[in-house]
Amino acid sequence: MPVKNGSQYVERINSSLPDVRIAGERLTGAISEHQAFKGVMATQAAMYDMQHDERWQASLCYSSPLSSEPVGLSFLQPKTKRDLAARRKMMQVWAEAHHGFLGRAPDYMNTAVMAFAAAARLLEEDNPQFAENLQHYYEYCRENDITLSHVFIQPKAARFPPSLARLIEEPAAARVTDKNKDGIVVCGAFLMDTQGVTSDEIFVYPAPFFSESSQDSPYAFAFAVPSRHPGVRFVCRESFVGGDSAYNYPLSSRYDEMDTLVIFDHALIPWNRVFICGNESMLSRLFDGSHFHTHAGMQIMCKNIAKTEFVLGTLEMLIETSGLQGYGQIVEKVTEVIVALETLKALQLAAEKGAALDRWGSMLPDRKPLLAANVYFPQIYPRLVEIVQLIGASSLIMIPDEKDFDTDLDDSLNLYLKGIGLNGKANVQLSRLAWDLSVSAFGGRQTVYERFFFGNVHTVSSRLYNGYEHGRELLMKRVQHFLS
């Protein structure tokens, strides 16, 4: 089966309903018609449709090496700079389709599974079957255009430091409780399975956190299963979709990706879907060796650029419709956004231009600009949102509803709430956009999500600092030479 289209995406999700709870109720019926999911599914359906649209197909697909049919370009292992550029172009096309608001657009996990599979040989050391499983799984996803989610992080209760863990009576860390001829049995919970419910399958890979190395640790495993797998349960957070109206909720009605807590309750994972089992050190070795952060970083870069562009366009509209372009303090603020945009675009270019082949034959982008961007974006995005608040000011609070324009107050609202070049209704629509970006629960969740996208500031800083060892050494030598 080649790349799927939107209705195939929707149909597959609808026909395979997992165990999902939302506000105490178990989900039934077509997910794509549930208010919490329909917007984001429609957005993704439109993205999958682009794969079949002649305007985009060449940018989004390539020929499968197995079937020669068109498959998603985000599955392509890049072997040349031309491949990298094609991948980037593909990711830009999709990012501009969702303006960067999807943290888990399909190309994110497609890229991840490609990266892991390219490094699958690492797993042979433990068990050649594991390596084969991972390679097969990658091909399965590519050939069937599987929509994937993933989980890395466990709830805090599972991660208390040993000194505090004793305060907790019952162990909460996810673990293999049994192995049998059919597979491994897993118990535990994972946080933040974004789009778990709107994806076909889930990729499970606990972040390693036990210091002691072990060859037979119950805490060391990795696997993938369908979202509807027995023993897998999803608990949703509150939906941040404000309502159906795209006028009132321009962002949340389209882009609210549901986050879920996933609980594995004695879930039996078949052996052919197990990639790691028992070897603590392999968790980090595959993670690092696959260059997950580097490959995923390129996709995220496209997302973050599209998002920054969207913020800048929104600000420019706010400024022009309010006649603010002559104020120095406004120009200084919007210029911060321009600097951020130019910075991100330049870092993306640098990563691509500095690419080199790795041991798996991948043309690996230069990770240094990417790791720098991973430190930078979580700091600048909240500032972008703050600038929207500072420039939007009171028009971010007192905003009527679309329906208010269908009443006898229509004329008054159009008179009093107009902007320069916009009647009241269009101006209020712009305010609602700025509000959904910077004030609504959807906007708030986006800010928190970006703050911690690849870990907290300490994690991303250390990743860059350690990844910069060579550069630091070189420059220290330059100073030593200067002093000598």
Q: Which residue number, 138 or 310, has a Cβ lying nearer to a second copy? A: 310
User: Under the criterion CB under 8 A, does residue 356 sit at the interface with a second copy?
Assistant: no
Contacts of 441 (CB under 8 A, 6+ apart): 238, 240, 252
Instruction: Say how far apart CA 121 and CA 138 lie, in whole Å.
Output: 13
What residue type is 472 in one-letter code? R
Cβ proximity of 259 and 236 under 8 Å:
yes
Q: Which residue number, 87 or 368, has a Cβ lying nearer to a second copy? A: 368
Q: Which residue number, 141 or 341, has a Cβ lying nearer to a second copy? A: 341
Instruction: Note the residue count of the chain.
Output: 484
With contacts defined by CB under 8 A, name the span among 65-73, 208-216, 280-288, 416-424 that binds a second copy: 416-424
Q: How far is the CB of 398 from a second copy (least distance, A)?
A: 5
User: Under the criterion CB under 8 A, does residue 55 sit at the interface with a second copy?
Assistant: no
User: Under the criterion CB under 8 A, does residue 399 sit at the interface with a second copy?
Assistant: yes
Q: Which residue number, 131 or 151, has a Cβ lying nearer to a second copy? A: 151
User: Under the criterion CB under 8 A, does residue 186 sit at the interface with a second copy?
Assistant: no
Number of residues binding to a second copy, judged by CB under 8 A: 134
Instruction: Say how far apart CA 250 and CA 244 lie, in whole Å.
Output: 9
User: Under the criterion CB under 8 A, does residue 56 sit at the interface with a second copy?
Assistant: no
User: Under the criterion CB under 8 A, does residue 58 sit at the interface with a second copy?
Assistant: no
Q: How far is the CB of 286 from a second copy (least distance, A)?
A: 23
Greatest Cα pair distance in the chain: 82
Where are the alpha helices (H) located in 74-226, listed in sequence order? 81-98, 106-118, 128-144, 162-165
Interface with a second copy (CB under 8 A), residue from 82, 266, 359, 472: 472
Q: How far is the CB of 22 from a second copy (least distance, A)?
A: 8
User: Under the criterion CB under 8 A, does residue 168 sit at the interface with a second copy?
Assistant: yes
Instruction: Say how far apart CA 148 and CA 341 lie, in whole Å.
Output: 29
Cβ proximity of 2 and 48 under 8 Å:
no
What is the Cβ-side half-sphere exposure of residue 139, based on CA atoms within 13 angstroms? 12
Cβ proximity of 103 and 303 under 8 Å:
yes
User: Under the criterion CB under 8 A, does residue 161 sit at the interface with a second copy?
Assistant: yes
Interface with a second copy (CB under 8 A), residue from 7, 67, 214, 412: 412
User: Under the criterion CB under 8 A, does residue 89 sit at the interface with a second copy?
Assistant: no
Contacts of 72 (CB under 8 A, 6+ apart): 3, 51, 60, 61, 106, 107, 110, 142, 145
Beta bridge partners of residue 269, listed in sequence order? 184
User: Under the criterion CB under 8 A, does residue 477 sit at the interface with a second copy?
Assistant: yes
Q: Which residue number, 130 or 442, has a Cβ lying nearer to a second copy? A: 442
Interface with a second copy (CB under 8 A), residue from 47, 134, 172, 305: 172
User: Under the criterion CB under 8 A, does residue 468 sit at the interface with a second copy?
Assistant: yes
Give the distance from CA 348 to its chain's centroid. 17
User: Under the criterion CB under 8 A, does residue 198 sit at the interface with a second copy?
Assistant: no
Q: How far is the CB of 378 from a second copy (least distance, A)?
A: 10
Interface with a second copy (CB under 8 A), residue from 339, 356, 359, 361: 339
Contacts of 126 (CB under 8 A, 6+ apart): 276, 277, 278, 279, 282
194 labelled binding-site residue: yes
Q: Which residue number, 272 or 379, has a Cβ lying nearer to a second copy? A: 379
User: Under the criterion CB under 8 A, does residue 47 sit at the interface with a second copy?
Assistant: no
**Binding residues for a second copy restricted to 138-157, rule: CB under 8 A:** 153, 155-157
Q: Which residue number, 112 or 341, has a Cβ lying nearer to a second copy? A: 341
* Mask for 247-266, x = binds a second copy (CB under 8 A): -x-x--------xxx-x-x-
Interface with a second copy (CB under 8 A), residue from 119, 224, 396, 425: 396
Q: Of 141, 184, 166, 358, which Cα lies nearest the Cα of 270? A: 184
**Binding residues for a second copy restricted to 268-327, rule: CB under 8 A:** 309-310, 312-314, 316-317, 320, 322-323
**Binding residues for a second copy restricted to 362-381, rule: CB under 8 A:** 368-369, 372, 375-376
**Cα angle, residue 112 at apex, residues 108 and 115 outer, rounded to 5°:** 140
Q: How far is the CB of 363 from a second copy (least distance, A)?
A: 18
Q: In what side-by-side order are the strands of the sheet with 201-204?
A: 148-151, 201-204, 221-226, 274-277
Three-state DSSP state, 225: strand
User: Under the criterion CB under 8 A, does residue 382 sit at the interface with a second copy?
Assistant: yes
Q: Which residue number, 283 or 373, has a Cβ lying nearer to a second copy? A: 373
Residue 456: Cβ-neighbour burial (10 angstroms; 0-12, 13-18, 19+): exposed
What residue type is 246 in one-letter code? A
Inter-axis angle of helices 81-98 and 106-118, to 10 degrees? Answer: 150
User: Under the criterion CB under 8 A, does residue 236 sit at the interface with a second copy?
Assistant: yes
With contacts defined by CB under 8 A, name the span among 78-86, 178-186, 217-225, 383-391 that binds a second copy: 383-391
**Binding residues for a second copy restricted to 100-139, rule: CB under 8 A:** none
Interface with a second copy (CB under 8 A), residue from 128, 230, 270, 471: 471
Instruction: Say how far apart CA 64 and CA 70 lie, in whole Å.
Output: 6
DSSP letter at 453? T
Indicate the annotated binding residues: 194
Query: Which residues make up each annotated binding site for FAD?
Result: 194
